[in-house]
């Protein structure tokens, strides 16, 4: 049997137990392995009276072996949680304020190697072929005359990676971790549960309004804002009639007024948003 790469799940402390017990009580057998990595929240992420002991406690009598991942603590210097750091991406989480511990996520694509400089390759006598691929992948090559050509000799400037940031349930970020991680994001996805006239109610329940989401996007100098997590009281675009002010289009207008009419996108199920590679 070929070992499959496990699905890695990230969430607040307590998630591992929830999944374990759900699997056990429902007698569910998965055909793939998984691990659950738990982020340990801090007391300032939600009202004190709501903060319970979010510490992993194995309550199942015979828990499955799957699911034992890392316990991730806040990096106090970076004010964030490091989740992934591989060849392609760096993924970090930051604290959000909500009724219960909630987290935002920053996904940053690492720099791509720059394009090969054809003229430099020719001037240095590098013949077309496998050597081009090695140099493109950051590997030095030795020519027949004994000269070593390094990638930096023939590559143009690296291509800066793209950044996507996601803020789910929240009425704000805790400290400056979220602002730093979301700075100059190519795409910022932010919840906007209620409209601006319901701001007090939104905050009371740990949620945001279009104005709050747009203000955060403006502070971070995000290039594009996508609103999501709308209350069911707002009619979808397809159902709203012309002139009505109770549809989610009104939320879009409220956010755009903060961003100097910069276009704001309203999220929809199965929506696909392209983010061009930077030049």
Domains located in the chain, CATH noted: 1-73 (no CATH), 74-112+160-279 (3.60.15.10), 118-154 (no CATH)
- pLDDT of res. 51: 67
pLDDT tens digits, one per residue of 185-206: 999 999 999 999 999 999 999 9
- pLDDT of res. 187: 98
- pLDDT of res. 27: 96
- Can you give the pTM of this predicted structure? 0.85
- pLDDT of res. 138: 85
- pLDDT of res. 185: 97
- pLDDT of res. 68: 80
Pairing relationship of beta strands 264-266 and 34-39 according to DSSP bridges: unpaired
Residues of the chain where predicted confidence (pLDDT) is lower than 70: 1-3, 49-67, 238, 240-246
Distance, CA of 239 to CA of 219 (rounded, Å): 33
Q: How deeply is 89 buried, as exposed, middle or buried, from its count of CB atoms within 10 A (0-12, 13-18, 19+)?
A: middle
Count of alpha carbons within 13 angstroms of residue 14, beta-carbon side: 10
């Amino acid at each position: 049997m070929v070992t499959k790469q496990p699905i890695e799940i990230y969430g607040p402390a307590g998630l591992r137990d929830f999944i374990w017990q759900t699997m056990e009580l429902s007698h569910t057998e998965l055909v793939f392995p998984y691990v659950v990595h738990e982020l340990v929240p801090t007391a300032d992420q939600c009202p004190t009276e709501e903060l319970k002991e979010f510490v992993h406690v194995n309550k199942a009598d015979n828990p499955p072996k799957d699911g034992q991942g890392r316990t991730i603590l806040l990096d106090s210097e970076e004010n964030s949680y490091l989740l992934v750091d591989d060849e392609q991406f760096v993924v970090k989480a930051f604290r959000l304020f909500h009724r219960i511990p909630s987290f935002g996520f920053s996904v940053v694509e690492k720099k791509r190697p720059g394009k090969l400089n054809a003229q430099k390759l020719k001037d240095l006598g590098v013949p077309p072929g496998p050597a081009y691929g090695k140099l493109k992948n950051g590997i030095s090559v030795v020519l027949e005359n004994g000269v070593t050509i390094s990638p930096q000799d023939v590559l143009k400037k690296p291509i800066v990676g793209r950044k996507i940031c996601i803020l789910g349930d929240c009425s704000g970020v805790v400290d400056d971790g979220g602002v730093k991680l979301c700075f100059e994001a190519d795409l910022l996805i932010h919840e906007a549960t209620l409209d601006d006239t319901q701001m007090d109610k939104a905050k009371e329940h740990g949620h945001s309004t279009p104005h709050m989401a747009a203000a955060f996007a403006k502070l971070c100098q995000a290039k594009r804002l996508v609103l999501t997590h709308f209350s069911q009281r707002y009619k979808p675009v397809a159902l709203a009639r012309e002139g009505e002010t109770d549809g989610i289009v009104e939320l879009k207008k409220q956010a755009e007024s903060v961003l100097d009419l910069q276009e704001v996108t309203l999220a929809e199920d199965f929506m696909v948003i392209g983010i061009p590679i930077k030049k």
